[in-house]
Chain A
Amino acid sequence: MPPATGPRRIAAFGGVYSNWLALEAVLLDARRRGAEAIYCLGDLGAFGPHPDRVWPLLVAGGVETIQGNYEESLASGAGDCNCGYTDPRDNQFAQLSYDYTAARTSEPFKHWMGTLPKHIRLELGGQRLLLCHGSPRRINEFLWETTTSNAFLRRLLAECGADALLCTHTGLPWQRDLPGGGQVVNVGVIGRPPNDGRRGGVYALLDAGPPLRTEFIRFDYDAERLAGEMRDEKLPEEFAETILTGWWTTCLEILPAKERERGRH
């Protein structure tokens, strides 16, 4: 029997990437759709302008936040974001954006990042959910839809004692009901579009089951305004292009074959 109390509908997202306009839009949209709790799965910084604008929005919105690799790096004073890229050009852009973000994130915000949990466990409709950033075992592990076998996901669920797993980190949302039970949702990111040629972002709205029901919500914000702020801050033009066109221009080499085939670059 599901518990009499506790939320029946939650929202979850990852990858704010300093896109404070997207965060504002998601918080409004999720509450409007009746989300009783909102979870952020990490990666607050990178890519966008003015990293400190994100913090007050998270606090005012009552968002339960997990530490991503970005927060782990910023809080510990690490020299890079530990995103896990393997390609030199991808790493070069990641470094530019990390150096910008590290220099403009206030010390109290960095300290707060260091206090965030790496996992959140909760019950939804009697199901045990584990929320993490990359994977339950590694903060920067990429769980892509087309390169993550069912057998591997069953192993992760068994190892962490969960019925459903929520993750982010890759930037592309997907969800799978595993044959024989178990569910996995990559909730996507709100800070940049999911490489499909449309502006805006994606977050996940999850309804209590069992089984857990996931709806990916597309939302919009003022992309022109964000791109303008990125340019004012002298961030790479490639980043503004992604915000305006909906196609990824950097961090591409890490994409598996099928995911890469769906993009423009």
Chain B
Amino acid sequence: MALDTVWFQVAGTICNLRCTHCFISCAPDNHSQRMLTLAEVEERLAEAEALGVKDYYFTGGEPFMNREIFPILAATLALGPATVLTNGLIMDASRVERLRALAAGSPYSLDLRISLDGYKAETHDAIRGPGTFDAATAAAARLAAAGLNPVLTVTEVTPDIGSPRARAAFLERMRALGLPRPRLKVLSMFRIGREVERERGYSSCESLRGAALTEADTAALQCSSSRMVTGKGVYVCPILIDHDDAIMGSTLGATLRPFPLSHSACYTCHAFGVTCRT
């Protein structure tokens, strides 16, 4: 297996929010996955460099709660492009400035992704808490003003997310908020973690067990070209880190083999063509 993308669960499952749809149930007090240290990230980066990895992603929890996030990103940007998934709530002026300097000092892209739930404060705040939509979009505008125009990652919490009219109205509001060239990525929902309580889990027919996937189908799945590094080991993908059977080894090199598509969440990746990459 050729490894293209390496993810780091850099903040573990520790987050300043307790979103009601979180597929790994992150929270301020959820320590089931711990934060990664700079030394741990550097060790895997060295391995990734030797394996010819193309790009790197950082998530949590909230990555900016990791006190070593800036040296971690600096070490990464010396080797390749980095993307950080954040809720934007602690994206103050000083963090924005440090990110701007990091991006300016690297030939590679530093991409920030701000997570939104739906196109409106109403749907977002119902999941994340009062005021979080305004705070996240204000953070996005601060980043854009610093030349770090972020990707707004919108989850499909309402059926209108795919509608061109709803999308156009959202982008117009983002322009008015100070994002002259709003970037957008729509994300399907994974029906695991807290989402099972909020809406529903997977039904028995939403499964790939016994499904005959073509070679092209399999190649399109992110597990055919990426891995997730956590404090517990290297997992097959960013989605399944609540499942011990998804740990494939303690190093990247030990995980370069196919993974059985035995989890319900695998259905979402295949049926909706989901990739956690931008």
Q: Taking beta carbons and an 8 Å cutoff, which residues of A are in contact with B?
A: 86-89, 92, 137, 144-152, 154-156, 158, 252-253, 256-261, 263-265
Helix, strand, loop or mixed for chain A's interface?
helix
Complex: A252 Cα to B149 Cα, angstroms:
13
Q: In the bound complex, do residue A147 and residue B54 qualify as a contact, i.e. CB atoms below 8 Å apart?
A: yes
Q: Looking across the interface, which residue of chain A has its beta carbon closest to that of B147?
A: A261
Q: In the bound complex, do residue B52 and residue A89 qualify as a contact, i.e. CB atoms below 8 Å apart?
A: no
Q: In the bound complex, do residue A147 and residue B109 qualify as a contact, i.e. CB atoms below 8 Å apart?
A: yes
The interface bits of chain B over 63-83 (1 if a CB of A lies within 8 angstroms of the residue's CB, else 0) are 000000000000000011100
Q: In the bound complex, do residue B167 and residue A146 qualify as a contact, i.e. CB atoms below 8 Å apart?
A: no
Q: In the bound complex, do residue B183 and residue A256 qualify as a contact, i.e. CB atoms below 8 Å apart?
A: no
Q: In the bound complex, do residue B48 and residue A151 qualify as a contact, i.e. CB atoms below 8 Å apart?
A: yes
Known pairs A88-B167, A261-B147; A146 contacts B183 (CB<8 A): no
Q: Can you name 10 A-B pairs with beta carbons within 8 Å?
A: A86-B275, A146-B108, A147-B80, A149-B53, A151-B53, A252-B183, A253-B184, A256-B81, A257-B148, A260-B181
Partner of A152, one of B4, B148, B181, B186: B4
Q: In the bound complex, do residue B111 and residue A151 qualify as a contact, i.e. CB atoms below 8 Å apart?
A: no
Pick the 6 closest A-B CB pairs, nearest first.
Answer: A155-B52, A149-B80, A152-B54, A146-B109, A257-B109, A147-B81
B54, B107, B167, B275: which has the most chain A beta carbons within 10 Å?
A: B54
Q: In the bound complex, do residue A151 and residue B167 qualify as a contact, i.e. CB atoms below 8 Å apart?
A: no
Complex: A253 Cα to B151 Cα, angstroms:
9
- Asked if B210 CB lies within 8 Å of chain A CBs, one says no
Q: Looking across the interface, which residue of chain A has its beta carbon closest to that of B83?
A: A257
Q: In the bound complex, do residue A86 and residue B181 qualify as a contact, i.e. CB atoms below 8 Å apart?
A: no
Say how far B105's CB is from chain A's closest CB, in angstroms.
12
- Asked if B185 CB lies within 8 Å of chain A CBs, one says yes
Complex: A115 Cα to B52 Cα, angstroms:
33
Q: Taking beta carbons and an 8 Å cutoff, which residues of B are in contact with A?
A: 2, 4, 48-55, 79-81, 103, 107-112, 147-149, 162, 164, 167, 181, 183-186, 275
Known pairs A89-B164, A154-B52; A146 contacts B184 (CB<8 A): no
Q: Looking across the interface, which residue of chain B has its beta carbon closest to that of A148?
A: B54
Q: In the bound complex, do residue B183 and residue A89 qualify as a contact, i.e. CB atoms below 8 Å apart?
A: no
Specify which chain A residues have a CB less than 8 angstroms from the CB of B167 in the assembled complex.
88-89
Specify which chain A residues have a CB less than 8 angstroms from the CB of B181 in the assembled complex.
252, 260, 263-265
Say how far A85's CB is from chain B's closest CB, in angstroms.
12
Say how far B8's CB is from chain A's closest CB, in angstroms.
15
Q: Looking across the interface, which residue of chain A has its beta carbon closest to that of B76?
A: A149
Q: In the bound complex, do residue A152 and residue B53 qualify as a contact, i.e. CB atoms below 8 Å apart?
A: yes
Q: Looking across the interface, which residue of chain A has its beta carbon closest to that of B148?
A: A257
A86, A87, A151: which has the most chain B beta carbons within 10 Å?
A: A151
Q: In the bound complex, do residue B49 and residue A151 qualify as a contact, i.e. CB atoms below 8 Å apart?
A: yes
Specify which chain A residues have a CB less than 8 angstroms from the CB of B164 in the assembled complex.
88-89, 92
Q: In the bound complex, do residue A146 and residue B107 qualify as a contact, i.e. CB atoms below 8 Å apart?
A: yes
17 additional A-B residue pairs with CB within 8 Å, beyond A147-B81, A260-B181: A87-B184, A88-B164, A88-B186, A146-B81, A146-B107, A149-B53, A149-B81, A151-B51, A152-B53, A152-B55, A152-B80, A154-B52, A252-B181, A252-B183, A258-B109, A261-B149, A264-B181
Specify which chain B residues have a CB less than 8 angstroms from the CB of A87 in the assembled complex.
184-186
Complex: A88 Cα to B50 Cα, angstroms:
36
Q: Looking across the interface, which residue of chain B has its beta carbon closest to that of A156?
A: B52
Q: In the bound complex, do residue B185 and residue A149 qualify as a contact, i.e. CB atoms below 8 Å apart?
A: no
Say how far A169's CB is from chain B's closest CB, in angstroms.
15
Complex: A87 Cα to B152 Cα, angstroms:
12
Complex: A87 Cα to B164 Cα, angstroms:
11
Complex: A217 Cα to B49 Cα, angstroms:
33
Specify which chain B residues have a CB less than 8 angstroms from the CB of A253 in the assembled complex.
183-185
Say how far A183's CB is from chain B's closest CB, in angstroms.
16
Partner of A257, one of B2, B52, B80, B110: B110
Specify which chain A residues have a CB less than 8 angstroms from the CB of B55 in the assembled complex.
147, 149, 152
Say how far A231's CB is from chain B's closest CB, in angstroms.
23
A88, A144, A263: which has the most chain B beta carbons within 10 Å?
A: A88
Q: Looking across the interface, which residue of chain B has its beta carbon closest to that of A153?
A: B52
Complex: A158 Cα to B162 Cα, angstroms:
42
Say how far B159's CB is from chain A's closest CB, in angstroms.
14
Specify which chain A residues have a CB less than 8 angstroms from the CB of B52 in the assembled complex.
149, 151-152, 154-156, 158
B4, B107, B108, B162: which has the most chain A beta carbons within 10 Å?
A: B108
Complex: A88 Cα to B48 Cα, angstroms:
32
Q: Looking across the interface, which residue of chain A has its beta carbon closest to that of B275?
A: A86
Say how far B107's CB is from chain A's closest CB, in angstroms.
7
Q: Looking across the interface, which residue of chain B has its beta carbon closest to that of A86?
A: B185
Complex: A156 Cα to B52 Cα, angstroms:
8
Say how far A229's CB is from chain B's closest CB, in angstroms.
27
Partner of A151, one of B79, B109, B186, B275: B79
Q: In the bound complex, do residue A256 and residue B185 qualify as a contact, i.e. CB atoms below 8 Å apart?
A: no
Complex: A88 Cα to B154 Cα, angstroms:
13
